[in-house]
Structure 1
Amino acid sequence: MPDARDATPYDALLLLSFGGPEGPDDVIPFLENVTRGRGIPKERLKEVGEHYFLFGGVSPINDQNRALLDALRKDFADHGLDLPVYWGNRNWAPYLTDTLRDMVADGRRRVLVLATSAYASYSGCRQYRENLAESLAALEAEGLEPPRVDKLRHYFNHPGFLEPMIEGVLASLADLPEDVRDGAHLAFSTHSIPNASADTSGPVEEHGEGGAYVGQHLEVSRLIAEAVRERTGVDHPWQLVYQSRSGAPHIPWLEPDICDHLEERHEAAVPAVVIAPIGFVSDHMEVLYDLDTEAKAKAEELGLPMRRSATVGADPRFAAGIRDLVLERAAVERGQEVTPCALGALGADHNLCPVGCCPARAPKPAAAGVDSPYA
């Protein structure tokens, strides 16, 4: 980078996340926020809420974000980058609109956004951009001048995101009994989404079977598996699998489900499986319940040795990677020549989401894209 301390024109970074309940009384209101407008009966929300009640009604995601905030602030301070970091959520406190209001009061005029989703999809990118547009419109309605917001590019293939996951898989393999370790299969897990959403993920030219969503996850899986082979000398078979399906049974969603995959691996006499939750930045409820509870129970029922590797969370290498992405984008905005850092065949993703990228079910304004009303 031309100047490792220069984030201009940006005067703040916003960590934008999903949010989660922090006690039993928060669970149903939180789920109502998540599902607002979808007509899901309260009885169904109570069923889903049982997952949270198993953990005291607390999702780990907010504590994970607090740890990431600390890691980012420390990394920035250690490297002389004077850029304040704020935090806002889509579905629970601290709410995005409240945080943006605070940023305006603090005089922030040009904001860079880090979303806790590394891949292209409606729910992982476009919906965050819609929420940003809604919050900016709310500030305008209050008579405030909203800041300009830009969003960091997708970071699925940045080494700061990949390296902690590679080491997590290596640690999980090392934790398996020696007699099954070399024969272990790798299951790279991510959130299942409707096939129709996957097929239209990413820019229009990438639409098709699985779209950018599946393509990016396959690339991350390949990169991790190749790194594991290079560092261990063992070529572990791998497959991309899915979890956390929540839609109507008649609507096709991405498959195979992780528990079905474990049964298939057991029937194929695979000696062990390592599950790597590559689709998730941190250990939130879907990781704890779908993998550490349901998938673990399925593996124990089958007598199949299984380990689950760590998510990236607040790893210092991830924080350093975010600093790199901030400085990269700032340099681009200043008109400087930049060589983006990205591993693998797909290269660095776009900085501005083009028209038709991860389209919504119904058209809504979205910030931080080519068609943003807040450019």
Structure 2
Amino acid sequence: MARTAEALLWLSFGGPERPEDVMPFLENVTRGRGVPRERLDAVAGHYMHFGGVSPINALNRDMIAAVEEELVAAGLTLPVYFGNRNWHPMVEDAVAQMSADGIGSALVFPTSPWGGYSGCRQYHEDILRARSAVGPNAPELMKVRQYFDHPLLVEAFADAIRAAREQLPAGCRRRARLVFTAHSVPVAADAAAGPPADGGGLYSRQVAETARLCSAAAGFTDYDLVWQSRSGPAQVPWLEPDIVDHLDDIAAHGAAAVIVCPVGFVSDHLEVVWDLDNEAADKAAALGMQFVRAATPGADRRFAKLVVELIAEQLNEAIPRRLGDVPGYGCTWNGAACAPACCAAPPRSGAGT
């Protein structure tokens, strides 16, 4: 890498931390997408179930603290700045502070390991927007690569799966069905994920590869991959099956216990604690099925080590560690897309949150 880095920008989705911020946050997320008010009211109710506070910012601050400690241990003197796409602290403010502090260049760590529009390209757009807001004195910013098949991510998930299985009654552990979940996206958006020459479907292919790697590492020979948290209009096809519908299916085929691993999420934010710990768990209980949910990797110290490894790849030209065969992209300067038309933005009308 020809350019150096003087800091790390931690870039995430954002979430409200007070009840009065819930609706402004949701309006910000869905601006221009034609989402009906009743849908916003329903999602706001999920946040109010937890006191109007999303766990995502607190989880990010915990992960940043762990990364700061790992940076010191690795002998890297990089200050870490925190910015979000949709709510405070906003990425524009974080980049402005970096500029005021005299930072000339920085690496950007996104809390999404994936390809696709919302998982990758939109982070490039966040970087471009923030630099444009700051102006000519904005630091140069480089987003690190997609890390969906990094060994430390796979190890953390595999250990979490094994730990979850131990929570089940001893008599049903061997027969428990392992089910991976990730955030659903419109089928058309997934078809556009990745460089056009790569054939599309990059997001679902990467999620499937991570599930394959994690199941093997955890000692499972069979598993399912399903989706969750879809919110668009019924007439728009999204990746399926949904986790709740899938519980009906496996119960009908005799499953007495299920281990759910939210492989699409790095921390326990709202989609995990509501859609899985509430809706899916309640559905399993209604079906008479034992339900356990594997932990996400963000609180595992290996996740902080993963971040530092990604930094070292750039600063020290270390060899990237990857376990899978599905392509990964995403490493560019200053908001540039990986390739022309890579992960094109989906139509804005009618999308959900």
Deviation at 1:131, TM superposition (A): 1.8
1:309-320 equivalence runs, <5 A? 309-320=294-305
Equivalences for residues 173-184 of structure 1 within 5 A: 173-184=165-176
Q: Is the 8 A contact 1:184 1:272 kept in 2?
A: yes
- List per-residue Cα deviations over 1:123-164 (Å, max 9, x = no partner): 111111112211211112xxx422111101001111221111
Instruction: Name the CA shift for 1:106/1:7 in 2 (closer, same or farther; >3 Å).
Output: farther
> AA paired with 2:138?
P
How many residues get paired?
343
Distance in 1 (CA, whole Å) between partners of 2:112 and 2:218 is: 24
Deviation at 1:349, TM superposition (A): 4.0
CA deviation string 1:224-276 (max 9, x = no partner): 111122xxxxx452111000001011010000000011110000001211000
Q: Tell me, yes or no, if structure 1 residue 17 matches structure 2 residue 7.
A: no
8 Å contact 2:258–2:292 — kept in the other structure?
A: yes
- Which letter maps to 1:343? L
* Of 6, 31, 51, the match for 1:36: 31
Using the alignment, how far apart are the partners of 2:324 and 2:254 within structure 1? 32
In the alignment, structure 1 segments of 5+ residues that lack a partner are: 1-5, 230-234, 333-337, 364-375
Deviations 1:20-58 (A, max 9, x none): 111211100110110111232333312210000001001
CA deviations 1:105-134 (Å, max 9, x no partner) are 001111110001011010111111112211
Pairing of 1:124-203 with structure 2 (within 5 A): 124-140=119-135, 144-203=136-195
Q: Quick check: 2:205–2:326 contact (8 Å CA) kept in 1?
A: no
Q: How far, CA to CA, are the matches of 1:31 and 1:127 in structure 2?
A: 17
Note the C-alpha offset of 1:185.
Answer: 1.2
* Counterpart position of 1:257: 242
Distance in 2 (CA, whole Å) between partners of 1:348 and 1:330 is: 19
Structure 1 counterpart of 2:122, one-letter code: Q
**2:207 alignment partner, one of 209, 217, 223:** 217
Q: How does 1:1-375 map to 2 (within 5 A)?
A: 9-140=4-135, 144-208=136-200, 211-229=201-219, 235-332=220-317, 338-346=318-326, 349=329, 351-352=331-332, 353-361=338-346
In 2 relative to 1, CA 179–7 (structure 1 residues): closer, same or farther, beyond 3 Å? farther
Unaligned runs of 5+ in 2: 333-337, 349-353
TM-score of the pair, normalised by structure 1: 0.88
Moved more, 31-40 or 341-350: 341-350
1:8 to partner: Cα distance: 6.9
Q: Deviations over 1:173-227 (max 9, x none)?
A: 111111111111111100000000111111222234xx11111111111111111
Normalised TM-score (structure 2): 0.93
Distance in 1 between the 2:47 and 2:57 partners? 14
CA distance in 1 between counterparts of 2:3 and 2:152 reads: 22
> Aligned partner of 2:256: which letter?
P
| Equivalent residues of 1:342, 1:348 under 8 A apart | no
SS at the partner of 1:292?
A: helix
Residue type at the aligned position of 2:316: A
Code of the residue aligned with 2:235 in structure 1: it is H
Contact preservation (8 Å) 2:143, 2:330? no
Q: Does the CA-based 8 Å contact 2:190-2:204 persist in structure 1? A: yes
Provide the C-alpha distance between the structure 2 equivalents of 1:112 and 1:240, rounded to a whole number of angstroms.
32
User: Cα RMSD between the aligned structures?
Assistant: 1.8
What is the aligned partner in structure 1 of residue 335 from structure 2? none
Q: Is the 8 A contact 1:186 1:236 kept in 2?
A: no
1:7 touches 1:326 (CA, 8 Å); kept in 2?
Answer: no
Q: Give the secondary structure class of the aligned counterpart of 1:253.
A: coil
Residue type of the alignment partner of 1:178: A
Determine if contact 2:120/2:330 at 8 Å carries over to the other structure: no
What is the identity percentage for the equivalent residue pairs of Structure 1 and Structure 2?
46
Q: Deviations over 1:265-296 (max 9, x none)?
A: 00000121100001011111111110000000
Give the conservation status (yes or no) of the 8 Å contact 1:160–1:319: no
Tell me if the contact between 1:183 and 1:236 (Cα under 8 Å) persists in the aligned partners.
Answer: no
Give the whole-Å Cα distance in 2 for the aligned partners of 1:22 and 1:35: 18
> Using the alignment, how far apart are the partners of 1:349 and 1:28 within structure 2?
34
Give the Cα–Cα distance (whole angstroms) in 1 for the partners of residues 197 and 246 of structure 2: 31
Q: How far off is 1:7 after superposition?
A: 12
Q: Residues 187 and 238 of structure 2 are in contact (CA less than 8 Å); yes or no, is this contact kept in structure 1?
A: yes
